[in-house]
Structure 1
Amino acid sequence: MKGLRCMAVVFIVFLFASPVLAQETVKLIVYEDGYVKVELSIIPDNRTVPIIVSVPEHAQDVIVEDPEGNPVDFQTINGTLLIYPESTELVRVSYYTPDLTSKSGIVWTLNFSSEVPFEVVLPENSVIVDLSDIPLRISETSITMPPGNQSVSYIIESPSPVQNGQESPLKLILALGGVVLGAGGVLIWWRGKNRFDNGGAFEDSLREILKSDELKEEEKLALKYLLEHGGRASQAEIRDALGIPKTTAWRMFKRLEEKKLIRIVKGRKENWIELRG
């Protein structure tokens, strides 16, 4: 009986939910390992009933928020998001998934179905080898596909081949520049570490902010952790130290960045958080 009641409740929710959207934009960011970040912007036509959004089976780090980054209430039922927009006029949904891509040999294929045109941002050095339909727009590694069941096949090229065992002058210049920038980054980080170790105006002002009521408790703990660890740490390190979920940490870092207290440094495998000096 309990199972039947649960099914009845779910049926009623879906009956009164709103699958029709006044406006929707879709963006897919594809990574080299096949993971895809899906970003949706939705303007609901009726904010008094839930919005239905289907998500893949292995969707991860699902975030539903308003334009200011505040969380919007939602629940997941059988691979479907029921979003309750209430007072917000725009809902932003994002998640990561490995379910949209497949690989055969060296060829990757992205498959996606959409009722509206959608943008696909392919990894750097990608070359498109097949399309299911004529694209609406192509710009470097970005392509906009029309609505429907669409596929984009591509390969990721290796760096330009060397000739006679020698790198091209341009590659040598870029490589040298990378070494110089890397060394410069280490030097900047070391100076920043020494500055935080030895104290300074920024640290003093930051400690004053920590004493005020301007920040939430987890934000204060994150900033204290950075102060105690040289002004820099990985997102995962801070998240583990505070014992908070990924989505909560993500929103926290975005708020601190907007307050100009930290900067988020994109890394190849993980992001780093730095105090602004």
Structure 2
Amino acid sequence: MKLQQIVAQKHQSLEKEILFVRSADILSAMVRLPIVVMGLVLVALCAPIQQSLASSRTLDFTIYSDGSTHIFYELEANPLEPEFTVELFGQVIENVTIIDEEGFLLSYEINANVALIETFGASHITIDYDTQDLVSKTGKIWKFSVDAPIQYSLLIPKDSVIVEMSNFPISMQVDNDQSYLILPGGLTNISYYFSTLASTKPVQAIPEEDTTDNSLAMYAVVIAAAAGIAALVAIKKASHQK
């Protein structure tokens, strides 16, 4: 009888321990579940941000003397996505060429300044185009304005002089009377004008020897012509006397 009571007590204590362990596991799981969910949400929110920040590779601006600007834009694309959307610089987009990493032309549609590109599995997209919207002119002063998402390069027209910049360039050099700048991302305004002194070329003097040689040649032609006329006159007089 006592043996049965001891066995029953042990069985009851074992059940209590099992219930306690199960309750503790359930509470622990309930505590961990919100943390896991929050972590997944943060990862889902951060993934598009990281993708957008890593999508841009190269951005170059080249300003021409008439105020038009050529843009060279390289971007990374997800080859698993059938379409790729990118915001262009300027409202009026001209002379557009879009190719993939193999150099094949890609189909696209442009609405205002947003381009919708059919990737066809491309992972690297290059966009070339022109616009008149990034440079304005007031009197003799030209002004370039752009809000770039990444660091970019800028080539100023030949014989231009920069008079104002809203941002300090990362680097700047002058080659063949053209300023080449590397600028950080963000809004930048650069004002410049064209120097007439820089574009004026000195007139080369004609060497005196060449002038002398040309004069002697002209004198020889005149003398020869005069001699020919005199000979004709003499022949006509002789024929009349006969």
TM-score range, shorter chain: 0.5 to 0.7
Q: Deviations 1:194-224 (Å, cap 9, x if unpaired)?
A: xxxxxxxxxxxxxxxxxxxxxxxxxxxxxxx
Q: Is the 8 A contact 1:22 1:43 kept in 2?
A: yes
Bigger CA radius of gyration: 2
Alignment of 1:39 onto 2:72 = yes
Q: Which amino acid aligns with 1:85?
A: T
Instruction: Report SS of the residue matched to 1:34.
Output: coil
Q: CA deviation at 1:21?
A: 4.2
Q: 1:119 aligns with which of 153, 159, 162?
A: 153
How many aligned positions are there? 151
Equivalent in the alignment of 1:146 = 184
Aligned equivalent of 1:54, options 87, 90, 95: 87
Which runs of no fewer than 5 residues in structure 2 stay unpaired? 1-50, 207-242
Question: 8 Å contact 1:19–1:51 — kept in the other structure?
Answer: no
1:135–1:160 CA distance, 2 compared to 1 (3 A): closer
TM-score, length of structure 2 as denominator length: 0.56
Match of 1:29 in 2: 62
Quick one: distance in 1 between partners of 2:110 and 2:128?
A: 14
Q: Distance in 1 between matches of 2:137 and 2:154?
A: 17
Shift of 1:86: 3.1
In 2, the alpha carbon distance for the partners of 1:60 and 1:146 equals: 26
Instruction: Give runs of aligned pairs for residues 1-277 of structure 1, distance below 5 A.
Output: 21-44=54-77, 46-49=78-81, 50-55=83-88, 56-140=90-174, 141-160=179-198, 171-172=202-203
- 5+ residue gaps, structure 1: 1-17, 177-277
Q: CA deviation at 1:144?
A: 1.2
Deviation sequence 1:53-112 (CA, Å, 0-9, x none): 223221111111124432012222343101232332321101111100111121111001
Cα pair 1:30 1:121 within 8 Å, conserved: yes
Task: Output the CA distance in 1 between the equivalents of 2:132 and 2:100.
Answer: 25
1:119-176 deviation per Cα after TM superposition (whole angstroms, max 9, x unaligned)? 11111011111111111110111111111011111111114487xxxx7xxx346x99
Identity of aligned residues (%): 21
Counterpart amino acid of residue 83 in structure 1: I
> Structure with the greater relative contact order (CA < 8 A, sep ≥ 6): 1 or 2?
2
CA distance in 1, matches of 2:116, 2:96: 12
Indicate the RMSD between aligned Cα atoms, in angstroms.
2.6
AA in 1 matched with 2:113:
G
2:62–2:155 contact (8 Å) kept in structure 1: yes
CA distance in 2, matches of 1:151, 1:132: 5
Distance 1:101 1:63 in 2: 21
Give the alignment's TM-score, normalised by structure 1. 0.49
Higher helix share: 2
